[in-house]
A and B are shown apart, each in its own frame.
Chain A
Amino acid sequence: MRDIAPARFYALHLAVIAVLFALNFLLPAYHHGLMARILVLAVFAMGYNMLFGYAGLLSLGHSMFFAAGLYGAGLAVVHLGWGAPPAFAAGLACGAVLSLVIGLLSLRTSGVAFMIVTMMFAQVFYLAILYFAPWTGGDQGLVVPRQARVLTIGDQPFDLADPQVRYLTALALFAAVLLACLALVRSRYGRVLVAIRENEERTTMLGYDTFSNKLAAVVVSGTICAAAGAAYALLFGYVGSNFAGVQYSILPLLWVLVGGAATTLGPLLGTLTMYYVIDVASGYTTAYLLVVGVVLILLVLFFPKGILGSVRQRWLGWLP
């Protein structure tokens, strides 16, 4: 398994990125906008997948990490008047610190208790956003002013609200996170995470401090999710408490399950699939959550491995 040339992995992933780059010039306006959003949310899903897919820890509170990035970046712009790059960094930092604290606390539990505890911490975070409405805008949310959403490279300013710039920025973030995830899961650390997922006690008895390894996984995962949140605030100009709600903890789980847990490209595929399923369904009914519910149940019943998980099992055993 280890002997397959790494070139093959990177070729596949670079090809995916190239296709996404080509789509920037090919997609009609509506789908172009949708796709930019999907790329950012796929980063969120990739962050979730690091913890759920590879380390085997099912969190029901990841909306708080996304929201930490979202509000970290958004509030830095609105209240501190920061520019886009430092605001993005602020979002990342908020996500990293929050995930470190949450990890230290919630990793004392495991299994069902871990799921409930993460859900509760996320609920506290959500309520805090509502409670501190004077700063956060409460359930109305805040609009991130357009003049702050500018990325200056050299002397050239790029308006992040411009569809082309927005798409390409989203793609750049997506590509960076995708390649980083690929490198991570193929690294020694990735092997340790999978070992912890498969049998934690055995991993301990090989001399691994599983707590620290899991904590690192929570922080990596939380920071990636925060990156998605921060990018969302800056690219789409809106910061809202609904992104901190329970629903946004369930959605990345759904996307990862659909695409295939513990596959590098599964999160993108799952996000893409579900976004279009819901987009089509909402043409017929306003009750798109019904679709989410039905898909969740069908998945756990019949396709627990998701799309890419099944593909890997049947045809392409080498898929990372």
Chain B
Amino acid sequence: MAFGPHLLLATLEGLVSAAVLSLTALGLSLVFGVMRIVNVAHGEFFMLGAVLAWAIASTLGGHPALGFFAALVLSPLIVGAIAWASERLVLSRLNYDPEATIVATIGLLYIIQQLALTFYGPEARPVAPPFSYRLSLPWFGYSAYKLSVVAAAIVLLLSVWLVLTRTKIGLVMRATQYDRETAQAFAIPVERVYAGVFALGAMLAAIAAVLIVPISQAHYLMGQDPLLLSFIVVIIGGLGSLRGTLVAALLIGLSDGIVSMFFSPTLAKMIATLLVAMVLVFRPQGLFGATQR
């Protein structure tokens, strides 16, 4: 293949990973923004979403689209319920102390990962895409499903943005983010908001995972890379800034897709991680984030 088409292919692949990454990172960013905690188990919610998608689709059988869409609805709901429960049972009792929360979510990470290994096993398993149409471009054929993932992500991101900026729920969330005590004084049920945000964050990761399983298979260790990449996105975009998160997801997703097509993935990851660490050290408000108050 010539360089031009090769680059086009890499860009398309990059767009798909950017779409999935922006959903996952948005979940992490929401949780950090509103609750001021870092959820290290975020990647495991992603993995759980994918594993549940396989379980649901393989239980239902029938046409692939039936299983897939059932998974797209049920899997995030189940993951959300698990996240909600762990927030109520563990995080709320830690009073959201940042360090204790990180330790607790590390514990959660190990628990979810090991339960997945025990009940799902070490194999990687695929979920059939709901449709298998291929677009024929002049140089290569490209899966229409992958493009629909990009479209779905855009729709989802837009709706999250609308909810955050245009609805009462969004207002309540922003008020809680701005000042927890004042929000309480205005009779905002801060506890419910926190549990809801934590569940929402996990659900976004789960949706992203369901979208990606037809492309890359479900595996019990698949949560590690999305966690690291989401961290990178949230840090570069500025902790807690939604717009920054989206820009950074696009940047990282695209460059990850393009770079890993031309370079050794280990080297690419190494350099990317080092650069991000340096961003945190020398520009903690992120590359795009405004200085926080």
Please tell me whether chains A and B touch each other in their complex, using a CB distance cut-off of 8 A. yes
Q: Is the CB of A296 within 8 A of B104?
A: yes
Within 8 A of A (CB), among B238-293: 264, 266-267, 269-270, 273-274, 276-278, 280-282, 284
Asked whether A115 and B104 contact (CB < 8 A) given A120-B273, A120-B277, A131-B267, the answer is no
Q: Which of B67-75, B108-116, B126-134, B148-156 interfaces with chain A?
A: B108-116
- B284, A131: Cβ atoms closer than 8 Å: no
A-B contacts, CB under 8 A, total:
103
Q: Establish whether residues B277 and A130, one from each chain, have CB atoms under 8 Å apart when the complex forms.
A: no
| A117→B108 contact, CB < 8 A | no
A residues near B114, Cβ cutoff 8 Å = 287, 289-290, 293
Measured between beta carbons, the chain B residues less than 8 angstroms from A117 are: 277, 280-281
* CA gap between A241 and B261 in the complex, in Å: 25
Is A237 positioned at the interface, with any CB of B under 8 Å from its CB?
no
Question: Of A108, A112, A123, A127, which is within 8 A of B282 by CB?
Answer: A108
Can you report 14 A-B residue pairs in the complex whose CB atoms are below 8 A from each other?
A105-B278, A106-B281, A117-B277, A117-B281, A120-B276, A121-B277, A124-B270, A127-B269, A131-B270, A287-B115, A290-B110, A290-B111, A293-B109, A296-B110
Contact across chains for A296 and B107 when beta carbons are under 8 A apart: yes
Query: With contacts A111-B98, A112-B98, A116-B280 known, is A294 near B273, CB below 8 A?
Result: no
Specify the main secondary structure of chain B where it touches its partner. helix
**In the complex, residue of chain A having the shortest beta-carbon distance to the beta carbon of B32:** A112
Question: Which range contains the number of B residues in contact with the other chain?
Answer: 35 or more
* Chain B neighbourhood of A253, CB < 8 A: 103
> A297: which of B104, B118, B277, B278 is its contact (CB, 8 Å)?
B104
Q: When the two chains form their complex, are residues B231 and A116 in contact, meaning their CB atoms are under 8 A apart?
A: yes
CB <8 Å contact, A294 and B280: no
Contact A294 B117 (CB under 8 A): no
Say yes or no for A292: interface residue by CB 8 A criterion: yes
Chain A residues within an 8 Å CB radius of B281: 105-106, 108-109, 117
Do A297 and B280 touch (CB < 8 A)?
Answer: no
Query: Using Cβ atoms and an 8 Å threshold, which residues of chain A touch B100?
Result: 300, 304
Query: Given the known A-B contacts A115-B38, A297-B90, are A109 and B280 also in contact in the complex, defined by CB atoms under 8 Å?
Result: yes
